Structure formats: C-alpha cells, structure tokens
Amino acid sequence: MTLTRDRKNLMLLALAGFNLILLNYTLIRQMTLAFRNLELSALLMALAYFAGISLGYLLSDRVQPETIRRVLPVFLAGQLVLISVAPLLVLRLVEGLSELLGDTVGLNLAYVAVFVLVTLGSTSLYSIFLPRMIQGEENSTKRYYSVEILGSLIGLVSLPLLGQGGMVAFYAVYLASFLGIAWLVGLRPFALGALAILCLAFLLGFDRIDKSISTAFYREFYRGAGIEKVLYTRYSPYHKVEVLLNGRGERVLVLNAHRQFAPSSHPHYSYFVAEYPARLLRRPTVALLGCGSMSTVGRMGDYVESIAIVDLDRAVFETSRDFFPEYNRLSELKNWTFQSDDAKHFLASDTRSFGLIIDDIPPAKTRQIALTYTREFFELVKARLGKGGIFSLPSLTPLHSERQYGRRMLATLNSVFDKVYVINDGSSSYYFSTGQETTFDRETLRAAIDHPRKDTVEILMPEEVTDLVKGVTTISVNNMADLILE
Amino acid sequence: MSDGTRKASEAAKDRTIRTGRQGGAPTRRVVAGRGERWTSIAHVAAMGLLFALVQSGLFFQLQLRLTAAYPSFLTVTLAWLIGSLVGLWVGRRKPGSTGFLAWMAASLVGYYLVMVLLRRFPYTIELLPVMGLLIVMCGVQAGHFFGANRSLFDSSASLFFWENNGFLLGWIVGYAGYVRFGNAFHWASPALAGLLALGLLGPRLGRASTRLSSPRAEGSPA
C-alpha cells in the first residue's frame, strides 16, 4: 500500500493524538499507583506527562527523523518496562535512596527520578510531530492540529470500550498504534518486525508479569503479612483491584495498592461499624456508602430491613462478591441492592430516608475521597438520615494520637450533627452521629455491645466529644487539602 | 558540494519527506524586538495558564458538585477537545483582534455559567449535556488561539512550547491555589488569568493584526 506523504502525516498525527490519551490512562496511572496513589504523586505524574509534551515541542525543530527512528525502539522498551515494573521499581528506588540519604530525601529523590523518567520516556515522542508538520506548510495549523485532536477524541471515546476488554486488549491497541507510528516515520522492516515481536511477547506475558511484579511488591511492602501471591487483578477506571492470598490461606482485598480488607478486620472493625449500630436501632433500613469487601453486609445482614450498597466502582463490588462470599454473604442474604454511583450524588438525588447510614470509604488520601469527610458531605448525609437514625463513620487514626486527622473528622461531625457518640477501641475509633431526638446513656451503649471487647472499649458521650474537639478546625471543601497532605 | 553541505541537504530533504515541510528552511515569523518577543512569550504562557485553570476548575467543581464518576472526566475532556477543534475552524485568524476578546469572553462566560449551574443545581446529572456544551464554548478559545497565533514566533514549536509551559504552570498554580484559598480560587483564578493574558496583549490590541499576525509586514522571508 502506498500512501501519499500528506496522508502519512495525517495518520501519524492522528495516532499520536490517540496514543497521548491512552498513555495518560495507562502509564501515568501505573506510575501514580507505584507511589500508592497519593494526591501528590497523582499531581506529579500529571506534571511529568505535560513536561514530556513540552520537551517534545522543544526538541521538535532540533531532532532529525533518523534520530526519531533510532530512539523509537528505546521509547517502546522503556514504556513497557515502566508499565510492567513500575511498583517494584519505585519501591526499590525509594528504599535504596532512603537507605543512603534518609527517608525524606530518599523519597523526594525517587520522585525526581521517576518524574524525569516519565518526562523523557512518555509523551515527548508524540508531541514532536505536530509543530514539525505545521512548520513545514503554510496555513496547515488547523488541518494538522484538527487531525491530532480527532485522534485524541477517538482515544477518549475508546477508553470505556477498551477498559471493558481488559488491560491486554488495551495495551494491544496502544502498541498497535505505536507500531503504526513507527512504520509511518520510516522504521526499517527488520526493526519494525523486532518491535512487533517484543509487543506480542509483552501482551502474551502481561498478566503473568503484572501478577509477579505485584506479588514481589506486596511481599516487600507488607512484610510480615505473609503475602504469598496475587490471585486476581482487575483494572477499572477508578481502581486497580487485586485479591492477594496470604500464608494462612486468607484472601486480602487491595485497591490501588492500599490494603482495603483483611479477614482480621471482620470480627472487630465490621462489627463496630455495622452490626453494632444496626442491632442498636433494631432492623433499620441501611445505606452503605463504599463497599470494599462488604464484610459489613455479612455482619449486619440478619439485623436490618434492607441494605442499599452504593459504590462508584462496580468492579470492586463484583470482585468482592466473587472472592469474599464467606464475609459478605451476598448469595445468602436477599435484603440488599447495589447501585453504582458516587456517594455524594446518591445522597443528593435519592429521596429515601435511612435509619442507618454507614460511611465505609477509605481514608482521605486523595481529593476525591477527602470530599466525603467534609462538612458539606455530612450535611448531605444528615438530610437522608431518618428520625432516630445513626450515621456510622469509622476512623483508623487513634483519637488520642498526635495526628489531627481523627479529631478533625470528629469536630466536623460534631458541628453538623446534634450528638456524636464515640467507641474507642485502641487504634480504631467508631463515631456514631445522631439527631437531637436520639439519646443513649453510657450503660445502654455498653450493654448493647455483643463483642469480646465489650468491657475494654472506651465510650465517649456527646459532651465529652464536644470537650475533646474544642478549638479543632472542622473540615470543609475549602480546607480539606491540608487533611490530605497532613 | 562539500560532504557537510550534502549531509545537511540530505537531512533537510529527509525531514521534508517525513514532515511534509515544503521548503528546506523553516518559515520565519520573527516578531519585532526582543522586548516584544518576551511579552509575546508571557502572553502565550498566560493563555496556557488560563486554559489549565479553567480545566482544573471544571474538573474539580464537577467532581465536587455533580459526580466524581467517570462521566465528569469524560465530559470535560471530550467537550474541551471538541471546542478546540471548533475553535481551529471558526473566527478570524487574527490575534489581538476583537475575535480574541470575543472568544476569551465566551470561554469565561461558559466557565462561569457551569460554576453557577453547579452551585444552583448541584448533583443534577441531567444537566451534564448542557454543561458539556458550555465547556465546548470554553474550549473554542484554545483552538482559536492556536489557529490565530501560528505565526507569532519564528517556529510554531515555540508557540506550542510556551503555551504548554503555561499550562504546566497552571496545574501547579491551580493545585497550590486550591490548597491555599479553597473554592474561592476556582471562582477568581480564570478571570484573573484572563486579565493577565489580556494585559500582556493589551498594548498591541488594535495594531496587533499588523504587528503580530501579518508576517509580511515584519519583513519575513516568507
């Protein structure tokens, strides 16, 4: 097939635009995950992505086509390495540098190193073409730029479809597009063939490589947890969902490299968050915000009228349903429904009132999650809480620790709800917020505990909570960033 | 022909083939003075800053007051790109002309209408298509900007480079601004960035069509 030069240029730009979008979805996400999806890492990786684009523009006039042809295979190999070994690479880098230079300097240098790697090895390749072509022809800006934007639009629209097909299908399309670019810039057939073989090998081995790297990462990161292997991996637009197996044959749920559920939390955490308030209220209707393993559903299922499970990510729900049935008992219980929705949107748009609303959303490490710990969010919860209802919110930050996190959360609840009761179980605290009409005394609260720690947990009454949070700044959408960055 | 010249000539030829360039040397579009060049750079970077602040404001406000689900991200990105595409093909190709002002105004009006809608009707997902259209309106300015300023520098790569650097800075400023000032930052920053971009272009408004976009008037070799 012979293509005119103009058509080649147009195709090249369309593929570059297409791959820029796909690269943002995959490489940047993988690198962010490697730093365990913290707000700062997400920002830094996004900056590296754009810095790469700047670099491409800067070099656009200076780089000869032969140089592009030479570095293309290096780019491909580099990107494949980054995509597949990112978590382990970052972990080793952080550990190695921290050992040499101390924790803070080591981590910061690791960020710098990864930033440079992503800047050099990702987007710069794709942004090199557009200015070269525009420069070459009068009045070509709108034509060439339009084609690149069209490529990006196609990439964007394809993302949900590609996501459905799994990461192998996703990478297959990305790599095919990369090979298309390599062909269009005139890579020799031999080199093109070698790259195609490399791509094929990567695609065939991706699942195995991904699991092996993850296993090695979690073994090192969660030393002492006895992680044996990764049983299952699934990528969704929001999470990398993984199920790990530990040495005791137990399954562990991991979302974006954060351990979300381990069986050891079922008897304590899930009891206090869900079963305890459910039994206290006697068969309430429940809204469970954030599903995780849904161990809470299994604990309270027999004591409630109905449970509306709400989570943004259907992939988490489906994974937990399939891998944690002994904890969530979804096949046994019939009084639950699942709704894939953002918790804020659900609370604001659903017209039902609930006797018990449970916030089982992970700690606020990113802006998106931190929004669910704000005064504005709690006001939405309050509006959906029926008369005599309870809002149950756990905190894994000990109330009496130096960190403000738990106390700020409590102060915010205290500013929105009439009364807040607290059960303090060492490293975990459980906050129960109610309206004016609900009153419990300490004895009733303790007597209602059906758990081995009944006599050891500390119970704080509303007036004690008010004293504890006096002078503590509440959390709103205007200041939640310092909560994330604490 | 010397070896070096031949190599250079071959390289130029090769580059022509690969990039579609019609001539051996880059088409020159040199702006008048050194000072004016830096003002142009600052203006272009300020435009990048503006685009980033508008985009980050939209992303976050939709996440905050509509839904954090994927449709929010998709709508902002898709609508912005469609707007940019439209912007490349509409309006007069003259920076500093009323077209520039009109599209900047349209962009800011689109942005603030989205903000008002989100504030007045929070979590109303049915409004997403309307917001999408308003975001298209925001994006038109970006496309128009690139179309109009292609000849601002001696190479189009410089235009993209400086705009993208401004964009990069915009992400940093957007994040730091939100951390420091909260929601109010998303209300104030696009208007301020717009004023900055306008201010940097200001002295040349009116005469800009000859100073900046008419390369022949600058004695360009083209």
- Per-residue pLDDT of A268-298, as tens digits, reads 999 999 999 999 998 999 999 999 999 999 9
For residue B167, the chain A residues in CB contact (below 8 A) are 50
CA B36 → CA B152, B199, B211, distances in Å?
A: 11, 13, 10
Tens of pLDDT, residues B125-148 = 999 999 999 999 999 999 999 888
Which 3 state secondary structure label does DSSP give A37? coil
3 state SS for A85-146: HHHHHHHHHHHHHHHHHCHHHHHHHHHHHHHHHHHHHCCHHHHCHHHHHHHHCCCCHHHHHH
* Arithmetic mean of pLDDT, A68-73: 91
Q: State yes or no: pLDDT of A237 exceeds 80.
A: yes
Most confident of B14-18, B49-53, B92-96: B49-53
Query: B33-83, pLDDT tens digit by residue?
Result: 667 788 889 999 999 999 999 999 999 999 999 988 888 999 999 999 999
Kindly state the helix (H) or strand (E) to which residue B39 belongs, with its residue range: helix B34-65
CB B168 to CB A54 under 8 A? yes
CA distance A202 to A81: 10
- Judged against a pLDDT cut of 70, whether residue B14 lies above it is answered with no
How many whole angstroms separate alpha carbon B108 and alpha carbon A161?
33
Q: Which residue has the higher pLDDT, A223 or A314?
A: A314
Phi, psi (degrees; rounded to nearest 5) at B214 = -110, 85
B92: left (phi over 0), alpha (psi -120 to 50) or beta: beta
Residues of B in contact with A482 (CB under 8 A): 179
Mean pLDDT of the region B4-30: 38
Residue in B157, B175, B182 closest to A61 by CB: B157
Q: Considering only CA atoms, which of A392, A254, A391, A274 is closest in space to residue A333?
A: A274
What pLDDT is recorded for position B202? Answer: 62
pLDDT digits (tens, 9 = 90+) for A156-203: 999 988 888 889 999 999 999 999 999 999 999 999 999 999 999 999
Interface contact A141-B156, CB threshold 8 A:
yes
Cβ within 8 Å, pair B88-A348: no
The per-residue pLDDT for A18 is 96
Question: What distance in Å separates the CA atoms of residue A112 and residue A90, rounded to the nearest whole number?
Answer: 11
Tens-digit pLDDT profile for residues A412-424: 999 999 999 999 9
Of the candidates B6, B37, B11, B40, the residue with the CA atom closest to the CA atom of residue B25:
B11
DSSP string for A218-276: HHHHTTTS-EEEEEEEEE-SS-EEEEEEETTS-EEEEETTEEEE-GGGTTTHHIIIIIH
Model confidence at B12: pLDDT above 80:
no
Distance from CA of A445 to the nearest CA of B (A): 36
Across the interface, whether the CB atoms of B157 and A132 are under 8 A apart is answered yes
Q: Using an 8 Å CB-CB cutoff, list chain A residues near B27.
A: 135, 138
pLDDT in tens, A394-415: 988 877 777 788 899 999 999 9
Which residues lie below 8 Å from residue B32, measured CB to CB, with a gap of 6+? Answer: B211, B218
User: In sequence order, what DSSP letters do the residues of B144-169 get, joined into one string?
Assistant: HHHHHTTTSSSSHHHHHHHHHHHHHH
Contacts of A60 in chain B (CB under 8 A): 155, 157, 160-161
Judge whether B191 and B184 are in contact, CB under 8 Å: no
Residue B208 has pLDDT above 50, yes or no: no
Pairing of strands A354-359, A385-395: parallel
* Contact predicate A273/A296, CB 8 Å: yes
DSSP lists the bridge partners of residue A433 as: A391, A420
Identity of the residue in B20, B67, B81 whose CB atom sits nearest the CB atom of A342: B67
Is the predicted pLDDT of residue A13 greater than 90, yes or no?
Answer: yes
The pLDDT assigned to A26 comes to: 82
Question: Comparing C-alpha atoms, which of A370, A435, A381, A434 is closest to residue A408?
Answer: A370
Who contacts A80 (Cβ-Cβ below 8 Å, separation ≥6)? A198, A202
For residue A160, list chain B residues with Cβ-Cβ distance below 8 A. 70, 74
pLDDT at res. A398: 79
- Which CB contacts under 8 angstroms, 24+ apart, belong to B179-186? B179/A481, B179/A482, B179/A485, B181/A478, B182/A476, B182/A477, B182/A478, B182/A479, B182/A481, B183/A477, B183/A478, B183/B64, B184/A478, B186/B57, B186/B60, B186/B61, B186/B115
CB atoms within 10 A of CB A118: 28
pTM for this one? 0.86
Select the residue of B164, B175, B178 nearest A57 (Cβ to Cβ).
Answer: B164
Q: Could you tell me which residues are beta bridge partners of residue A261? A: A253
Q: Are residues B19 and A135, on separate chains, in Cβ contact within 8 Å?
A: yes
A419: three-class secondary structure by DSSP: strand
The residue written with tokens 């093109």 in the block is A192
Pick among A28, A342, A479 to test the B interface (most B CBs inside 10 A): A342
Q: How confident is the model over A308-367, as pLDDT tens digits?
A: 999 999 999 999 999 999 999 999 999 999 999 999 999 999 999 999 999 988 877 778
Q: For residue B214, name the pLDDT band (cuts at 50, 70, 90).
A: very low
pLDDT surpassing 70 at residue B29 = no
Residue A142 and residue B147: Cβ atoms within 8 Å? yes
Of all residues in chain A, the one with the smallest CA distance to B61 is A477
The verdict on a CB contact (< 8 Å) between A57 and B19 is no
pLDDT on residue A82? 85
Question: Do residue B26 and residue A135 have CB atoms under 8 angstroms apart?
Answer: yes
**Rounded to an integer, what distance in angstroms lies between the CA atom of residue B64 and that of residue B55?**
14
Q: Is-contact A415 A381, C-beta < 8 A? A: no
| A289, β-bridge pairs | A310, A359
Residues A330, A331, A334, A337: what is their CA dihedral angle, to the nearest 10 degrees?
Answer: 50
- CB distance A141–B122 less than 8 Å? no
Whole-number pLDDT of residue A404: 81
- Token output for A231: 């049983």
Average pLDDT, whole number, for chain A? 90
Q: What are phi and psi of A231, to 5 degrees?
A: -80, -35
DSSP A303: G
**pLDDT-derived band of residue A37, with 50, 70 and 90 as boundaries?**
low
Give the integer Cα–Cα distance in Å for A73 and A181: 11
- Mean pLDDT of the region A236-254: 92
Contacts of A265 (CB under 8 A, 6+ apart): A295
Choose between B141 and A267: higher pLDDT. Answer: B141
Question: What's the pLDDT score for residue A238?
Answer: 87
ipTM here: 0.89
Res. B221: pLDDT tops 80: no
Q: Please report the number of interchain residue pairs, chain A to chain B, with beta-carbon separation below 8 angstroms.
A: 165
Residues of B in contact with A371 (CB under 8 A): 63-64, 68
Nearest Cα to Cα of residue A486 among A39, A94, A44, A104 = A39
Q: What are the tens digits of pLDDT across the range A106-146?
A: 888 888 888 898 888 889 989 998 888 887 676 688 889 99
Put simply, the answer to whether A138 touches B222 (Cβ < 8 Å) is yes
Matching residue, tokens 């004591």: A303
pLDDT at A392 over 60: yes
pLDDT score recorded for residue A440: 92
Q: Are A129 and A13 in contact (CB under 8 A)?
A: yes
Scored b (16 or more CB within 10 A) or e, B81-106 reads bbbbbbbbeebebbbbbebbeebbeb
Of the partner residues B20, B159, B171, the one whose CB lies closest to the CB of residue A50: B171
Tokens of A195: 């790259």
Q: What is the arithmetic mean of pLDDT over A418-438?
A: 92
pLDDT value at position A223? 84
Contact check, Cβ <8 Å, B182/A138: no
DSSP state of A300: H
Which residue in this structure is represented by tokens 């964007």? A156
Residue in B81, B89, B184 closest to A142 by CB: B89
Could you say which of B124, B168, B222 has the minimum Cβ distance to residue A50?
Answer: B168
Residue B220 reports pLDDT greater than 70:
no
In chain A, what residues touch B222 (CB-CB under 8 Å)?
138
Residue B176: both structure tokens together: 């730091």
Q: How many CB atoms lie within 10 A of CB A334?
A: 8
* Cα–Cα distance for residue pair A333/B2, rounded to 1 Å: 85
- B85 contacts A153? CB cut-off 8 A: yes
Q: Are B108 and B219 in contact (CB under 8 A)?
A: no
Dihedral of alpha carbons A274, A275, A280, A285, sign: positive
The pLDDT value given to residue A484: 72
Question: What is residue B204's predicted lDDT score, i.e. its pLDDT?
Answer: 59
**Chain A residue numbers touching B164 (CB-CB < 8 A):** 50, 53-54, 57, 127
**pLDDT for the residue B31:** 46
